Chain A
Amino acid sequence: MTGADDGGGATVREAAVGDAVREAAVQESAIATPAGNGRSPGDGAASASGAVWRWPVWGLAGASLVAVLVATWRTAPQAVPGITLPGPLVQYGLPVTRLFMELFALAAVGLSLLPKLLGFDDPGRTEPVMARARVWAVLAAFGWAVAALVAMLLGAAEVVPGRFPDPGGYVEAIGAGQGLVLSAACALAYTFFGLLALRFGEKVPAELRVIVAVFGLLPLPVSGHASNWYWHDLSMVSMELHVVGAALWTGGLAATAVLLARHRDLLARALPAFSRLATVALLVVGLSGLFSALVELALSPTTRLPGSLFTTEYGLLVVAKLVCFGALGLLGAHIRWRLMPAIARGGTTAFAAWAAMEVTVMGLAYGVAVAITRAPVA
């Protein structure tokens, strides 16, 4: 009930500011390019571009879901006589829930990032978009918290197959359980700041929200396998950087593609900033991922490295992620060097489609990532 009320309030306010924006955008499109669909920057009025903004969402969710299901199926443990394995609900439900948690988390991170990308110079134009981002971010954070707690329950069920799960004991004894509960707590803490931002607007610092959301990502690598004793601290930091970099990169691009693709002026404003972030994230994600994977494979006592890239399921998933990474580099370069100059000039581009494609590849990488944390190294 309260949710409906506040949603209504937000849209009323949004609509009020939206009119001003619409006029401004129409003016601008009249100046810049009279043709094309620039006339309808509002709420999906255009039939052609109306669905485009949803592509990144479906691409991300669909691709990651397919990837995690296929990867989980491939890495499923073989039946052993006398040993009860977790049922399919846990075996597939746990990775899928983990995936949803990651997706909600990256949505919260990306949406919080939006004000930093857009800047605060021109609230008349940016405010309607940011208001929508604030509502979505709070919803995503609630979804994140719920998914994390469900994943915790499924994790508790996974470690005692065939018996009734004991979440209390699981969290008490196992780092993964603690990580999930902490992540849920951070997501809930995020909703506090997000709700404050709904009430007080961008007076609640965007940095604060980004940092709280990012902090909620940090406990997650605890529930995957970071590596062995000697390299433990370093590889832990590397995993943290990987997760955070990926969330900023994917979340930032998804938020930009979904919320800004229809507003050419805002896109021109945000894209250079995002591009810089993406460059850093690309380096961080690539290096940290390579480091973590190689350490994990190198320290595996039963396999040798160059071969184990192709002979172990873990290695194959690493290769799959490398392929995704290469594709992301190419797509990112295309957006950076082909599309961005045109967008900066105010021209029409196929940004939405290209961004949707890149986000879809990111989804594949995310799906594989969830499976890779669970795949046997040997």
Chain B
Amino acid sequence: MSLEVQFRPECPVRRLFTVLLVTSAALAALVTPAQAHNVLTGSDPKDGATVTAVPRRVTLTFDQPVRADFAKVAVTAPGGAVTQAALEVVDAKVSAELPAGGAAGAYIIGYQILSNDGHPVTGKIEFTVTGPAAGQSASPPSAGTTASPGTGSTPATGAPSPAAPGQGVASPVAGAAVPGTSGGGWVWGVLIAALLLSGLGILVVARQARLAGGGGA
């Protein structure tokens, strides 16, 4: 184990890590939106709660802003009927409208949202209704629209729009809260450039192989 062998690779290693530190810092600043797994932090009604009347809306609160374009809430009524609820997404709150005229019994609210890191987060809350359906005095709950004026319990701030599934990014919260929605289409250009580069490399090697083959034969 001569000294020069021992000494030689030391600088590349150190240099490599220096380069890495710098590039990763640069990259972190450049590309990345804030990443994390969204977590349900609370709900109204609470998970496992018993309420006397069927609430008009269920509000799920997460620890981070929710992307409206991928959020989904399914309501399972006591009879087992499942409905996809219409949603309002405001920041970290997802508010789902319950079907009108629900019976007493156990309700399951299943949700699926897309975490900021791109992973779907799925879960459910359950609550039990002891009394009859709510909203006797209120106007008959509409069947399709979600633009019911907030009845005080829901955070219907701003101009909430129904979450449109699909990729039309029309989330009302996109602005500052969810940074990941800026167009990422430029990466395709990078990919194509890299493909061309790789093809060039294949050409270089193929040409050499052909020359070598011709010389050999």
Chain A interface (Cβ within 8 Å of chain B)?
2, 5-6, 8-9, 77-78, 80-83, 85-86, 116-117, 119, 155, 158-161, 166, 168-169, 171-179, 181-182, 184-189, 191-196, 198-199, 207, 210-211, 214-215, 218-219, 221-229, 232-233, 236-237, 240-241, 244, 248, 268-269, 272-273, 276-277, 280, 284, 296, 299-302, 344, 374, 376-378
Contacts and interface: CB of A to CB of B under 8 A. Distances in A.
A179 B15 CA distance: 25
B9 to A, nearest CB: 3
Interface in B44-96: 63-64, 69-70, 72, 74-76, 82-84
A78 B191 CA distance: 36
B197 A225 contact: no
B117 A81 contact: no
A318 B108 CA distance: 32
Nearest to A228: B36
Contacts of A207: 12, 15-16
A171 B13 contact: no
Contact of A83 (B110, B191, B198): B110
B187 A196 contact: no
B110 A173 contact: no
B201 interface: yes
Given A5-B209, A222-B35, A228-B34, A80 B110 contact: yes
B36 A225 contact: yes
Nearest to A191: B198
A376 B188 contact: no
Interface string B187-217: 1101101110110111011101110110000
Interface residues of B, number: 86
A286 to B, nearest CB: 14
A182 B187 contact: yes
A189 B117 CA distance: 26
Given A185-B194, A226-B117, A172 B167 contact: yes
Interface centre among B6, B15, B180, B198 (most CB of A within 10 A): B198
Interface in B14-52: 14-17, 19-21, 23-25, 27-29, 31-37, 39-41
A232 B35 contact: yes
B31 A222 contact: yes
Contacts of B37: 225, 376-378
A5 B206 contact: yes
A241 B20 CA distance: 7
B10 to A, nearest CB: 6
A353 to B, nearest CB: 22
A181 B191 contact: yes
Contacts of B64: 228-229
A16 B26 CA distance: 45
Contacts of A85: 122
Given A199-B204, A215-B23, A218-B23, A172 B185 contact: yes
B100 interface: no
B1 interface: yes
Given A82-B110, A195-B205, A241-B20, A155 B9 contact: no
A301 B34 contact: no
Contacts of B118: 155, 159, 174-177, 223
Interface centre among B5, B29, B212 (most CB of A within 10 A): B5
B13 A301 contact: no
B188 A82 contact: no
A85 B37 CA distance: 17
B47 to A, nearest CB: 11
Contacts of B114: 159, 174
B41 to A, nearest CB: 5
A80 B124 contact: yes
Given A174-B118, A226-B35, A188 B197 contact: yes
A158 B117 contact: no
A236 B39 contact: no
A301 B41 contact: yes
B156 interface: no
Contacts of A237: 21, 24-25, 28
